[in-house]
């Protein structure tokens, strides 16, 4: 059965890095992986594509009209066979990016592109509107992973996403659940404990702690995932562990988001 | 939002801001109204306007043009589509172009005002009309009228009268105007401008010349106040309604411009007596008011007429047709009684 997972989290927290390394690690398990970048910034799959920005679905639709766009125009094969799609969106400051995500999904459905063993949806910073909740809707990602550091603003964003998951999970036939929290650390003191406790309080669990490691930057400068650039590094091993845990995970919950004062006092406890 | 979701309420009193604004802008005969939205937003409005125009023996098609937004414009922004629409309309050299926004254009944040302010060679006038912002039909009417009046410079009053905010979509719009004109003429007053009903763009500045305004009904009062503040024009807040109300209208109009009303009122009283005599055969008839009710204004007129003719309002029996808005003047009551008589005798 096809597994569909989505990574959500604050802008700049490392969703794309985590997604790309996760996809790469999954591909080495012999799995057919599709990664879909759901952000107008379009840089989700760049490390899998060795630094090139692939044409986005929305760019192609804008240039040619949706009838003249086909499956082969939007799906690009990257590192180790990982298939890559970028949704793209309007120019910054105009139009409706959320509707762009919905249109992209409809087009991918039409092409039958949503196939393989695992689909990884890499979604922008926050669930700003209905369009960006599209990956959580029925038929798409059933398992949502939150990517966060131990910084308060990052936890705050993760908590907001919990609200969206709770809301959507209450819909009839909804299969969208919180699958766990990934700590992409900033190497703050007691960060793993803090994020672990946050995960527990929102009725979930910390699935993987990924410490800050310079090899991530080095890999990026070489336009590669860590899995490709430094396969023997400890960081690569952590991504492989994450991939195994994601495949084995069977604990999916309806989250219990925190009030802001709870969140703040939680952060204070782990100063 | 309408707090009462009953169908009779939403269908009678709700309506779309866009439709209200179009009922005004399409009545500027040498203009084009662009509806910046999906085609459907203009299509059903076009049909409605066309139907009403035919009913009033106007054979020209309503001048409505759609920017034709599709999903791609919603995603990538619709301003370029609006520019194309304005350019296409400007090439046929209308006297002015109105741009009316729609729900989806406002939702995605298209900057309609800035597109309109580009140099198009003809005046391009934006009217905010997104229905979801909470207004209804009448808000659209008022938005369009006040937008148009804002472009008018003050003038010096010449003793004439403006007719403000006619219901361009009511079937009896011409009959109602004719009745008001008859009454004003009886006082020796003449009409300066029908703002806005079938006038040309160049006539709009004449608005400032009149000495006072007659509003179509109380819904137009916000605009009446606005014009009073801008041009110092007093106003009568409604077309005449009811027998006594029509006589009172003559008195108020005369007082407003300092002429005598005694002869006109005496003549009108005679017209009303003749009316009641013409329908004296209805004396004793029992009628039922429509089950979906009548407005407070309607109710007062109906009771006044029923009493004057010696008719009775019953709980069950024959339901007589009621106009959507109260009958205007003595002539409006005559037309209503004709319809009642047909129903009672049928």
pLDDT digits (tens, 9 = 90+) for A129-176: 888 888 888 889 999 999 999 999 999 999 999 999 999 888 877 889
Higher pLDDT: B106 or B268? It is: B268
Higher pLDDT: B300 or A3? It is: A3
Structure tokens at B16: 């779309």
DSSP states along A36-99: EEESTT--TTTTTTTT--PPPHHHHHHHH-GGG--HHHH-EE-GGG-EEEE---SPTTSS-HHH
Query: From its phi and psi, is residue A173 left (phi > 0), alpha (psi between -120 and 50) or beta?
Result: left
- The pLDDT score that the predictor gives to residue B1 is 41
Nearest CA of chain A to the CA of B71: how many Å?
A: 8
Active site residue A10: yes
Complex ipTM tops 0.90: no
- The pLDDT score that the predictor gives to residue A228 is 98
Mean pLDDT of B71-87: 95
pLDDT, mean over chain A? 94
Band of pLDDT at residue B250, cut at 50, 70 and 90 = very high
Which residues does chain A have within 8 Å of residue B73's beta carbon, measured at their own beta carbons?
A: 95
pLDDT tens for residues B35-71? 999 999 999 899 999 999 998 888 889 999 999 999 9
Contact predicate B128/B143, CB 8 Å: yes
Nearest CA of chain A to the CA of B81: how many Å?
A: 12
* Interface contact flag, B74 A99, Cβ < 8 Å: yes
pLDDT, mean over chain B? 91
* Interface contact flag, B72 A66, Cβ < 8 Å: yes
- Flag whether pLDDT at B117 surpasses 70: yes
Active site residue A163: no
| Nearest residue to A17 (alpha-carbon basis) of A262, A178, A238 | A238
| Nearest residue to A86 (alpha-carbon basis) of A124, A112, A116 | A124
Q: By the CB < 8 Å criterion, does B79 face chain A?
A: yes
* Interface contact flag, A61 B77, Cβ < 8 Å: no
Give SS3 for B101. Answer: strand
Each as own residue / partner, the long-range contacts of residues B337-345 (CB below 8 Å, 24 or more positions apart, any chain) are B337/B275, B337/B279, B337/B282, B337/B305, B337/B309, B340/B282, B340/B287, B341/B279, B341/B281, B341/B282, B343/B318, B344/B282, B344/B285, B344/B287, B344/B318, B344/B320
Would you give the distance in Å from CA A178 to the centre of its chain? 13
Mutate to test the interface with B, among A40, A92, A96 (most CBs of B within 10 A): A96
* Interface contact flag, A95 B107, Cβ < 8 Å: no
Mutate to test the interface with A, among B73, B75, B83, B107 (most CBs of A within 10 A): B75
- Flag whether pLDDT at B289 surpasses 90: no
| Nearest residue to A28 (alpha-carbon basis) of A86, A104, A80 | A80
Higher pLDDT: B293 or B206? It is: B206
Which residues does chain A have within 8 Å of residue B79's beta carbon, measured at their own beta carbons?
A: 94
- The pLDDT score that the predictor gives to residue B132 is 78
- Flag whether pLDDT at B9 surpasses 80: no
Nearest CA of chain B to the CA of A169: how many Å?
A: 26
Please list, residue by residue across B75-104, b when 16 or more beta carbons sit within 10 angstroms of its beta carbon and e when fewer do: bbbbbebbeebbeebeeeebebbbbbbbbb
Mean pLDDT of B74-82: 94
Burial tier of B220 (Cβ tally within 10 Å: 0-12, 13-18, 19+): buried
Mean pLDDT of A31-53: 95
Nearest CA of chain A to the CA of B115: how many Å?
A: 13
- The pLDDT score that the predictor gives to residue B2 is 45
Q: Among the options A66, A117, A126, A186, which is catalytic? A: A126
Mutate to test the interface with B, among A59, A63, A90 (most CBs of B within 10 A): A90
């Amino acid at each position: 059965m096809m597994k569909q997972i989505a990574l959500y989290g604050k802008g700049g927290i490392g969703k794309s890095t985590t997604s790309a390394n996760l996809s790469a690690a999954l591909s080495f398990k012999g799995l057919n992986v599709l990664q879909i970048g759901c952000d107008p910034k379009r840089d989700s799959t760049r490390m899998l594509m060795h630094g090139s920005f692939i044409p986005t679905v929305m760019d192609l639709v804008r240039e040619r009209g949706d009838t003249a766009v086909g499956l082969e125009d939007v799906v690009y094969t990257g590192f180790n066979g990982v298939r890559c799609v970028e949704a793209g969106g309007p120019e910054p400051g105009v139009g409706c990016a959320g509707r762009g995500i919905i249109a992209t999904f409809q087009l991918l459905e039409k092409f039958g592109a949503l196939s393989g063993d695992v689909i990884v949806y890499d979604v922008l910073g926050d669930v700003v509107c209905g369009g960006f909740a599209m990956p959580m809707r029925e038929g798409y990602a059933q398992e949502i992973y939150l990517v966060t550091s131990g910084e308060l603003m990052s936890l705050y964003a993760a908590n907001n996403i919990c609200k969206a998951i709770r809301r959507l999970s209450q819909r009839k036939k909804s299969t969208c659940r919180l699958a766990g929290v990934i700590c992409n650390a900033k190497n703050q003191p007691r960060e793993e404990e803090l994020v672990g406790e946050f995960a527990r309080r929102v009725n979930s669990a910390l699935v993987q702690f990924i410490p800050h490691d310079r090899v991530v930057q080095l890999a990026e400068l070489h336009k590669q995932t860590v899995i490709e650039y430094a396969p023997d590094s400890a960081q690569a091993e952590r991504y492989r562990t994450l991939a195994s845990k994601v495949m084995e995970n069977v604990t999916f919950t309806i989250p219990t988001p925190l009030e802001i004062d709870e969140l703040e006092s939680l952060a204070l406890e782990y100063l | 939002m309408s707090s009462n979701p009953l169908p009779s309420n939403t269908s009678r009193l709700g309506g779309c801001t866009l439709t209200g604004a179009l009922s005004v802008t399409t009545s500027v005969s040498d203009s084009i109204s662009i509806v910046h939205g999906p085609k459907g937003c203009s299509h059903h409005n076009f049909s409605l306007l066309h139907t009403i125009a035919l009913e009033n023996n106007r054979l020209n098609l309503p001048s409505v043009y759609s920017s034709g937004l599709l999903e791609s414009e919603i995603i990538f922004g619709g301003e370029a589509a609006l520019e194309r629409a304005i350019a296409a309309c400007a090439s046929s050299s209308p006297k002015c172009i109105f741009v009316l926004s729609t729900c989806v254009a406002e939702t995605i944040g298209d900057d309609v005002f800035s597109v309109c302010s580009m140099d198009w060679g003809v005046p391009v006038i934006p009217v905010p009309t997104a229905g979801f912002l909470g207004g209804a039909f009448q808000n659209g009417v008022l938005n369009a009228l006040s937008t148009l009046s804002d472009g008018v410079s003050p003038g010096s009053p010449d003793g004439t009268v403006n007719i403000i905010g006619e219901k361009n979509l009511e079937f009896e719009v011409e009959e109602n105007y004719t009745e008001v004109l008859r009454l004003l003429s009886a006082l020796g007053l003449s009409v300066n401008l029908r703002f806005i009903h079938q006038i040309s763009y160049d006539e709009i500045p004449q608005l400032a010349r009149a000495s006072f305004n007659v509003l179509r009904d109380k819904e137009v009062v916000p605009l009446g106040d606005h014009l009073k503040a801008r041009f110092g024009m007093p106003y009568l807040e409604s077309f005449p309604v009811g027998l006594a109300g029509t006589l009172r209208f003559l008195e108020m109009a005369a007082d407003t411009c300092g002429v005598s009303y005694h002869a006109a009122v005496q003549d009108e009283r005679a017209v009303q007596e003749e009316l009641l005599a013409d329908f004296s055969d209805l004396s004793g008839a029992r009628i039922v008011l429509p089950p979906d009710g009548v407005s407070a204004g309607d109710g007062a007129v109906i009771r006044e007429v029923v009493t004057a003719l010696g008719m009775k309002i019953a709980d069950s029996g024959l339901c007589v047709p009621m106009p959507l808005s109260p009958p205007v003047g003595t002539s409006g009551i005559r037309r209503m009684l004709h319809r009642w008589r047909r129903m009672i005798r049928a």
